[in-house]
Structure 1
Amino acid sequence: MTFREHMAQMTARALTEFREESADGIYAVTFRIDSVDQDPRFPYLAIGYNTDAEVARLLAAPNPPDAWEARWNYAYFPPSGLEGIRIAGHHREHDPAGAELHRREAMAQGLWYEDGPELPDAERDARDECLATEFHDLCVDLARQLHTGGRIAARLGRPVPVILYDMFEPDEMFALTRAANPAELVAEFLTQDPEGQVPW
């Protein structure tokens, strides 16, 4: 099995673990892209969701956030959306199989390295950038597959957007989410894109 195949299985599995009582109110699947100790060699994906009930709770509170912020800004997401309900990728505690597959493939690509002074900083930085870009691209593809394979609609009874965000690269949120979803599902989300609505 490849790392990509493993990740596809894990994202599909995560959908089946969404709480039944929340399914009717889920308006977004969430993909939090992260890495262990902020090290690009160990990327992982926290897969979760957010609900209309959670947004209503935020907006009913004293000094509520802006409506868009409450719905789409990960800073306001509950644990189900921020921490997710399943972690997949190079995370030895939560996904040892994924960690081994990712390390093996990174080595085969010549991107893996061990800690130590042997690798020049410029080469280390270049490998880190490649690893991070590859993982971002994979996460976009995984979200697309959830749409094209009909998995989200089958689980929730309707299509909903997949919101992708990397808290260490917040400016990437809009580009990643735009690339991962049909345009009609992310129109509201993209209204706050500082780069504007880029044509498809």
Structure 2
Amino acid sequence: MTDHHEDFSAHLLDAATGVLARFPAELRPEIYALSFRIWRTDDDDRRPYVAIGCNTESRYERESLRTDPGEARWNYAYWRLDGFETLGNVPGDPVGSRLYTTEVRRLGLWFEDDGSEDEAPENGGQGNGAPDDDRESRRELLREHFASACVRVARRLHTEGRIERIFGRPLPVVVFDMYCPGWEVEATRAANPPEAVRDFLAWYDTPAPG
């Protein structure tokens, strides 16, 4: 039997590798960190995506002139966030969209706007309307599901040597969701080997001046 979970994860891993490989060659020597920015189209938890980007030494130098250098280097608020390729349940990733929706339907996490569960009887659905609290529970589970998938993919980019093959050196992957301030510490720690995020974690563990 085909494992849909692995299908989506495998697609996300290979697609993310392709995105990194398409970063301009002239930009690569300047990159000191990669970024996985998790977001949702129209604030819809059924349509999550991850924008795969980076930050560069040049941007850091510019931003450090107007703020604390540690903030400029490691706080994503000072990074370039837009203009990167996106993967997940988005029109630009039709394969990922199909695999993602297949997976979350199989897991019983999908819901329709009219409140129906949208599960076929053979998959355990009863065709009854899902109450509001059930939809909210599913939204939370959908957020956790996609976030976990992104963290696993970032980790595999390291363990399978894909980042080092593309850039010639290891680079930290900072995983964040602007709806979840502070979560980037837990996510980034889980997504990287310890040595890759030593500087990132040291900055977070340093008390703010004053």
Same fold by TM-score, threshold 0.5 exceeded? yes
CA distance in 1, matches of 2:70, 2:206: 17
Give the equivalent residue in structure 2 for 1:96.
94
CA deviations over 1:136-158 (Å, ceiling 9, x no partner) = 11111101111011111111111
- Note if contact 2:74-2:203 (Cα within 8 Å) is conserved in structure 1: no
Give the residue type in structure 2 aligned to 1:103: T
Give the residue type in structure 2 aligned to 1:141: R
Identity of aligned residues (%): 42
Report the CA distance shift for 1:31/1:132 in structure 2 as closer, same or farther (over 3 A).
same
CA deviations over 1:146-189 (Å, ceiling 9, x no partner) = 10111111111110100001011112111000111111211221
Instruction: Describe the SS at the equivalent of 1:191.
Output: helix
Instruction: Describe the SS at the equivalent of 1:170.
Output: coil
Give the residue type in structure 2 aligned to 1:115: D
- Note if contact 2:30-2:56 (Cα within 8 Å) is conserved in structure 1: yes
Q: Return structure 1 stretches of 4+ with deviation > 3 angstroms.
A: 192-196
Give the equivalent residue in structure 2 for 1:5.
10
Give the equivalent residue in structure 2 for 1:70.
72
CA distance in 2, matches of 1:187, 1:179: 12
What TM-score do you get using the length of structure 1 for normalisation?
0.89
Give the equivalent residue in structure 2 for 1:43.
48
Equivalent residues, number:
189
The question of 1:29 aligning with 2:47 is answered no
Give the superposition deviation at 1:193: 3.3
- Note if contact 1:165-1:176 (Cα within 8 Å) is conserved in structure 2: yes
Give the equivalent residue in structure 2 for 1:134.
145
CA deviations over 1:107-159 (Å, ceiling 9, x no partner) = 11111111014321111111111111111111111011110111111111110
Instruction: Describe the SS at the equivalent of 2:99.
Output: helix
Give the superposition deviation at 1:191: 2.6
**Structure 2, unaligned stretches of length 5 or more?**
116-128
Give the equivalent residue in structure 2 for 1:20.
25
CA deviations over 1:37-96 (Å, ceiling 9, x no partner) = 122111111001111111112224xxx111111111111112xxx1252110011x2112
Give the residue type in structure 2 aligned to 1:15: L
Give 1:91-170 correspondences, 5 Å limit. 91=90, 93-117=91-115, 118-170=129-181
Give the residue type in structure 2 aligned to 1:66: D
Higher mean C-alpha displacement, 166-175 vs 182-191:
182-191
- Note if contact 1:30-1:84 (Cα within 8 Å) is conserved in structure 2: no
Two-structure CA RMSD over aligned residues (Å): 1.8
- Note if contact 1:89-1:95 (Cα within 8 Å) is conserved in structure 2: yes
CA distance in 2, matches of 1:135, 1:195: 30
Give the residue type in structure 1 aligned to 2:132: D
